[in-house]
Amino acid sequence: MDVLTSMYAHNIASYLIEYFGAEDIVKEVEYSAEITRRVVEVKPRGALTPEMAFHMKLVDIYSDIGVEYTVLDNKRHLERSIGVRGSHLEPYVVKGEKGSLLVFFGGHEISDALSFKSSFRSEIHAVRSAYEIGLKTTEKLLAGGTLVVALDGENWMIFSQKSPLTVPFYEKLVSLLLACQRLGYLELATLRDLVKRADARRKLTHMPATSWLCGFARWHGEVRDQIIYWERAKRLYATVREYESEHG
């Protein structure tokens, strides 16, 4: 198992940096990493970036606290990045101003299927869906490479209209993947396992400041009053920064 750290308050990092210039708030991930070390008794080498809200300034923020890798989205991030691009079935090195970060790109299609397509009508439907995803996973790996499945941990259960049916789905999917591993079609691994053997030959120099939703409308605009409160927060934050600059 690989335990990742994350932002303590599930900060939407790239939004806070782009909209507020609030790098100091985002840097609280150092506090989160310390909690992971103290409570879980694991030194985290990777980080889950909340909502995959990535910003290039996160490269150095992560590097400064010893975080070596994260996972982003192949559609939202890799396809819009600048550098030497290839397949999302391989890791990349992303260079910051001072440090660097190893980035794995989650397979958008399968990750989203697991996250949001779990409203099964019956147990038979759930099991059949497990077979379909297991087949798609195996097919994508036949030509080689590493397929990373990345999703918010709770989505596959709480978004289901019949959440008990996610149990036979998940159990069948895991058993199928283990069977495929025994037959030599694939090998299951954690991110930490992949880092040990990572041969990241391609480098990216820039990735867009965005989320897995390809923007920030979910948090700034989906509900009308959100914009009002963000504007108030922005003014307050600017006032505090101005006061600190003048008075310390």
Distance between CA 50 and CA 4 in Å, rounded?
A: 12
Residue 40: what pLDDT?
93
The lowest-confidence range among 91-95, 98-102, 161-165 is 161-165
- Sign of the Cα pseudo-torsion (199, 202, 4, 107, in order): negative
pLDDT of 153 reads 63
The total number of residues shown for the chain amounts to: 248
Whether 61 and 97 have beta carbons less than 8 Å apart is answered as no
**Cβ partners under 8 Å of residue 186, min gap 6:** 137, 138, 141, 177, 180
Lowest model confidence (mean pLDDT) among 76-90, 108-122, 229-243: 108-122
In angstroms, rounded to a whole number, what is the distance separating the alpha carbons of residues 198 and 200?
6
For residue 163, the model assigns a pLDDT of: 87
Average pLDDT rounded to a whole number, residues 150-161: 76
Report angle CA 231, 236, 240 to the nearest 5 degrees.
Answer: 150
> Which residues sit opposite 70 in a β-bridge?
47, 103
Q: Give the rounded percent of residues in the chain with a pLDDT score beyond 90.
A: 74
Confidence of residue 154 (pLDDT cuts 50, 70, 90): low
Residue bearing tokens 């954690």 = 190
The 10s digit of each residue's pLDDT in 17-68 is 999 999 999 999 999 999 999 999 999 999 999 999 999 999 999 999 999 9
Instruction: Output the average pLDDT for the chain.
Output: 92
* Distances, alpha carbon 161 to alpha carbons 15, 228, 238, in Å: 31, 33, 43
The number of angstroms, rounded, from the C-alpha of 24 to the middle of its chain's C-alpha atoms is: 21
Q: Using DSSP, state whether 188 is helix, strand or coil.
A: coil
**Greater confidence, 203 or 248?**
203
pTM, rounded to two decimals: 0.89
* Cα(93)–Cα(62) distance, integer angstroms: 13
Q: What is the mean pLDDT of residues 207-226?
A: 89
- Calculate what percentage of the chain has a pLDDT beyond 70: 99
Note the pLDDT of residue 91: 94
Identity at 86, one-letter amino acid code: G
What is the crossing angle of helices 166-182 and 123-141, to 10°? 30
